[in-house]
Amino acid sequence: MEENKQQQEEELLILRSILGDAVTDLGDENDRCEVDIEFQLPSPFLLRLIDNSNELCTQIQNLPPLILTVNFHDQYPSSTDSPTFVLSSCYLPRQYLAIMCHKLDQIWQENLSQPIVYQWVECLKEHFLSSNELRLTTEEIDDENDEPRAMSSYEPKQASAIYDQLIAHNREKEDEKFLLEYHECPICTSNNIPGRDMIRLHKCHHVFCRQCLQEYAVLHINAGSVEWLLCPDAQCQLSMLPSEIKLMVKDNSLYEKYERLLLQKTFDQMLDIVWCPRCQIPVIAGGENDNLALCEQCRFPFCKKCKKTYHSETMCGRELEMALLKAHRRKLRQSLQAHKLSAEESQELLKEFLAVAKIENTTRLCPNPLCRTPIEKNQGCDHMFCTRCQRHFNWSDAKDETAATKALFDDAGQNVDQILNLILREPTEGDLDSNDFESSTLKVVSGLFLSRTKMCPYEKCGKVHVKYGANNYAICQYCKRGFCFRCLRPLINDRTHFGRACKQYSD
């Protein structure tokens, strides 16, 4: 008996040296112990919840330990009777634990009269890790084998709650591990930063140091761009949680400003909410057919479109601007229809017209009245030389005779594709709040298009021609025949026509 007692003490000593704090003495005489069996889960390890026809699945790296409680009797390990034990778990069903109990009995039979606890622990780990997933199901399982050594609080009807508990346990363990490790911040590239000085975002699990995230959050809050408080990772861009923002700024007044701005941005996205122009509080507007909005605080009735005093009988200024935009576009569409072009041909014609207009915007005409060739100055001094008529002149002295065409690009910029897109699409309410689609721009386009596009007068041709520069002597690029752009008379010799019937140069 003394020899058995000594072997039991030695076995517990070896277990503590290998498993550490996972071994707990439950008796004063070292005759009872409890072993917390931690599983080193493979990656990936899946946790599944099967609820009737629905299935949830997530990856985890940590599970609560399986508890093995062992009682040594006086004859262990010399006798043929194994020490008594109990397997207990909160997430493994009793059926699984019963199978494991019988497995441990087999291990004992194969190793009679030998210290057995460590072999049991390794057997339980090996058997559990033979699968890379854990299934929780709400389906009732018949338990015909009543094994008193298998103790489990798992109930199929509680599978959903256990699923959530296991996810929470995994997150808690991951957080503990995160705090003990050292990390690198991808923003400031500092490395060996302890976990307590880092913040891991909940949605995407990207990690950044507190200092960088604080500066990032303060910058956006002070700039009012709280809707862009996203994960700084360029490949992620998921939004941050308000609790994470509060953890970053560490300033109650700044966080209150964040909440106020976030609420304001939210209201701005709600179509039935407008802001009172006097007291700047959100107001619920009326229906689509009613522009009246009444502030509950200052009792100011105003138009929800123009934010001015409510006007019931007169058209809102914004509506008038929208009507002008649509009228100019309708005029341009009628001009295109008059040329009997398809949609693709109309678009190509507009591109050609805008390209010509852009060239004219960067050129001036040679001052020689017999030449009038468009010349572009891209660098150098004011001295210019016309390669056609061999005339020397100063750039500042050359007259700019395409003022109407230049006005188009002065208002709308130099991007031809952008102007084309604005012309082809229908104007919206948002265009009235921006400078991209001004009424003057569309008005210039529609007027110039009418005066600078005409059909070739030759019956067998009939292609649309775009006038370039101030010269009214046009040569059709399709049939290569000349004609007067003003009167559309076919010309063989331009000298016999211009100066008598029509001016050769006009805007």
Mean pLDDT of 460-472: 78
Which residue in the block uniquely carries the two structure tokens 């998921």?
238
pLDDT (0 to 100) of residue 271: 72
- Rounded distance between C-alpha atoms, residue 100 and residue 106, angstroms: 10
- Rounded distance between C-alpha atoms, residue 203 and residue 201, angstroms: 6
pLDDT (0 to 100) of residue 436: 43
**pLDDT higher than threshold 50 for residue 437:** no
pLDDT greater at residue 19 or residue 445: 19
- Rounded distance between C-alpha atoms, residue 214 and residue 247, angstroms: 9
Please state, as a whole number, how many other Cβ atoms lie within 10 Å of the Cβ of residue 196: 9
Q: Are 394 and 386 in contact (CB under 8 A)?
A: no
Mean pLDDT of 426-450: 57
pLDDT (0 to 100) of residue 89: 92
Which residues does 482 contact at the CB level (< 8 Å), separation at least 6? 473, 474, 475, 476, 490, 491, 492, 494
Distances from the Cα of 124 to the Cα of 84, 102, 420, 492, 501, angstroms? 16, 11, 72, 104, 108
Give, rounded to a whole angstrom, the gap between the first and last alpha carbons of the chain.
121
Which residue in the block uniquely carries the two structure tokens 């576009």?
329
pLDDT digits over 307-364, tens only? Answer: 788 777 677 766 676 676 677 667 666 666 666 767 677 777 777 777 777 777 777 8
Mean pLDDT of 12-25: 89
Please give the single-letter amino acid code of residue 126: E
pLDDT (0 to 100) of residue 102: 92
Tokens of 220: 């956006």
Q: Are 225 and 270 in contact (CB under 8 A)?
A: no
- With both helix axes pointing from N to C terminus, report the angle between 117-128 and 94-110 in degrees, rounded to the nearest 10: 130
Which residues does 475 contact at the CB level (< 8 Å), separation at least 6? 481, 482
pLDDT digits over 222-259, tens only? Answer: 988 888 889 999 888 888 998 899 989 888 899 999 98
**pLDDT higher than threshold 50 for residue 435:** no
**pLDDT higher than threshold 70 for residue 432:** no
Mean pLDDT of 433-459: 66
Would you place residue 488 in the very low, low, confident or very high pLDDT band (cuts 50, 70, 90)?
confident
Task: Count CA within 13 A, CB hemisphere, residue 489.
Answer: 12
pLDDT greater at residue 430 or residue 349: 349
Would you place residue 417 in the very low, low, confident or very high pLDDT band (cuts 50, 70, 90)?
low
**pLDDT higher than threshold 90 for residue 68:** yes
Distances from the Cα of 483 to the Cα of 71, 372, 451, 467, angstroms? 113, 18, 16, 11
pLDDT (0 to 100) of residue 372: 74
Which residues does 101 contact at the CB level (< 8 Å), separation at least 6? 85, 87, 147, 149, 150
State the chain's mean pLDDT as an integer.
81
Q: Are 157 and 72 in contact (CB under 8 A)?
A: no
User: With the C-alpha atoms ordered 235, 238, 241, 242, is the resulting torsion angle positive or negative?
Assistant: positive
Q: Helix, strand, coil % (nearest 5) of the chain?
A: 40, 20, 40
Domains and CATH numbers, the chain: 2-169 (3.10.110.10), 183-269 (3.30.40.10), 320-455 (no CATH)
**pLDDT higher than threshold 50 for residue 49:** yes
Q: Tally the residues of the chain.
A: 507
Which residues does 356 contact at the CB level (< 8 Å), separation at least 6? 452, 466, 467, 468
pLDDT (0 to 100) of residue 217: 92
pLDDT (0 to 100) of residue 405: 57
pLDDT greater at residue 116 or residue 423: 116
Q: What pTM was estimated for this model as a whole?
A: 0.50
Which residue from 60, 67, 89, 100 is spatially nearest to 155, judged by alpha carbons? 89
Would you place residue 464 in the very low, low, confident or very high pLDDT band (cuts 50, 70, 90)?
confident
pLDDT (0 to 100) of residue 390: 85
pLDDT (0 to 100) of residue 281: 81
Mean pLDDT of 460-464: 81
Q: Are 198 and 209 in contact (CB under 8 A)?
A: yes
Would you place residue 407 in the very low, low, confident or very high pLDDT band (cuts 50, 70, 90)?
low
